[in-house]
Amino acid sequence: MELVKKLPDHFKRGYLWMERILEDFINYLSVEKGLARNTLESYHRDLKKYMQFLNNNGIPDVKTSTPAVISQFLMEQRQSGLAAATINRNLASIRSFYHFLLKEGSIQENPAVEMEASRTEKKLPSVLSFSNVDLLLDQPDLTSITGKRDKAMLELLYATGIRVSELIFLDLNSVNIKMGFLRCDGKGRKERMIPLGSMSIKSLEDYLQKSRPKLLKLKDEKALFINQHGKRLTRQGFWKLLKKYALKAGIQDIIPPHTLRHSFATHLLENGADLRSVQEMLGHADISTTQIYTHVSRKRIKEIYRKTHPRA
């Protein structure tokens, strides 16, 4: 609140109002829209950045902003080197926020409603080969407590295709090892059931029997995967682990957190799985989102053909 103390009185009122209405908006997205926690954090982060821009440019609150002001904000984002996808997400956050204010009666029109998003180049997702998946999943040290945990996490990601954000929010009761299924709450709090493979079941049993009890500090901790402090593992914590194991495996490419999810979907399709089943397991609302993996699969088939056919 140090910033508020330095502002003139009319700016203080605008700033405090913006803080309150932002919290109302985030609560609305959480309760009425059922958005996931990491999505809510993205909205909050984008809008805080926009509000800071308004304050820096002498605009006391979001209600007095204009399309020209929003365009200038997005231009600054572009000049700072942010990717088009990130800028478009900022615009989407601002547009949704103003739609909320319009609905609440705080403004008469949405200044961002007619603003167009930047064109983005569609990139194919990063996918590991079968051999590199095996190599990555073999890196954790199974003689250590954390190694057993890391092995279970990696196996579970590749076996189910769940997102990293979904992985870290799994609770003990999310997994039914006896039935061989995982229950996952995805985007929009939509629940889906995903089968577990034999390797992931074996790794989970090893972790739950021999590792988690030693990491546990509080008996009532519900989180499935916990850190060395006995608390739920964070997304950042997992990202560090993934980078460490990729480096250890000698995989040269930078592995994004969703690489195992992308590999899961692509490998299923390459081995004959139908698109609808893969869509269901990934939790995609629209099958067009899943179809990108068919492009990846075809691209990989062409690469294999060129490398292996004597007259390719």
Output the six-digit token pair for 160.
């189910």
Give the C-alpha separation, 16 to 21, whole Å: 9
Are the beta carbons of 165 and 264 closer than 8 angstroms? no
The catalytic residue among 13, 78, 192, 258 is 258
3-state secondary structure of 69: helix
Clarify whether 284 is annotated catalytic. yes
Give the C-alpha separation, 237 to 56, whole Å: 34
Single out the residue of 214, 180, 174, 210 nearest to residue 195, CA to CA: 180
Give the C-alpha separation, 297 to 83, whole Å: 26
The catalytic residue among 148, 149, 151, 163 is 163
The catalytic residue among 187, 192, 232, 300 is 187
Clarify whether 261 is annotated catalytic. yes
The catalytic residue among 149, 151, 212, 261 is 261
- Strands 181-185 and 191-195 come out as antiparallel
Clarify whether 99 is annotated catalytic. no
Give the C-alpha separation, 121 to 85, whole Å: 9
Q: The tokens 């950045």 sit on which residue?
A: 49
Give the C-alpha separation, 86 to 108, whole Å: 28
Give the C-alpha separation, 288 to 295, whole Å: 11
Q: Residue 1 contacts by C-beta under 8 Å, 6 or more apart in sequence?
A: none
Q: Which amino acid is at 294?
A: T
Residue-by-residue DSSP string for 129-175: -HHHHHHHHT-S-TTSHHHHHHHHHHHHHHHH---HHHHHT-BGGGE
Which long-range contacts does 105-108 make (Cβ < 8 Å, 24+ apart)? 106/21, 106/63, 107/63
Active-site annotation, residues: 163, 187, 258, 261, 284, 293
